[in-house]
Amino acid sequence: MKKINELDNQNLMMLLELRKSGILDDRIFNAITSFSRKMFLPDNLKGFYKEDIDLKIFSNVISSRTSDIAKMLFLGVSKNSNTRNVLEIGTGSGWLTALLSKIYQRVYTIEINKQAYQFSSNILKNISNKISYKYGDGKKGWIEAGPFDAIYIDCLVEDEPKFLYSNLAGKDGVVILVKDYSGNQFYSCYSPKAKDILYKSTYKVSRDKII
């Protein structure tokens, strides 16, 4: 990790905000500062790359703000410290995919929106040979590529994702997603082998401003 006095103002503010939120894992900060979000935005939105806001990149496809992605990543690695195989359902812009490739040894990602898939795969092919991507419906996971230590779904999932449990590795595999609690959304974790399967984090999803 870079020393504090080596950080520019934007990254210094980001580091302080992550620390304030209780995100103390330097792997996450290092991943975020390895790429510019600008790389993962369409031309008409590149001017917003420094803003910590959600951006609608295509129809029904949102690029989540950096602070929310950091929360999701921290929940995932804190609930399962193994960082071998990971599955992402919903590639979107490829931003989260790239960050996962800095933390996990192998990343698999699925996107059902054709426009988003074409956009993100064109970027990811130049990011890392650790990333495998495909166009399709991720509801059943990617069983032949598993088992996975963690599965990330950066969107609201109403029902328990039992259909994904067969994709998980051993007793420690987890599914990280968004759940609604009385009208508020929080990043949450399903640990199917745990006594209390669902864990609600304190990390509220910020969906108050979408451009």
Question: Which segments of 7-166 does DSSP mark as H helices, in order?
Answer: 9-20, 26-32, 66-79, 95-103, 114-124
Residue 199, judged by CB atoms within 10 A of its CB (0-12, 13-18, 19+), counts as: middle
- Mapping DSSP to helix (H, G, I), strand (E, B) and coil, where does residue 62 land? strand
* Strands 61-63 and 55-58, sheet pairing: antiparallel
For the question of residue 64 being annotated catalytic, the response is yes
Question: Annotated catalytic residue: which of 36, 63, 64, 132?
Answer: 64
Nearest-10 Cα torsion for 136, 143, 168, 128 = -60
Q: Which residues are tagged catalytic?
A: 64
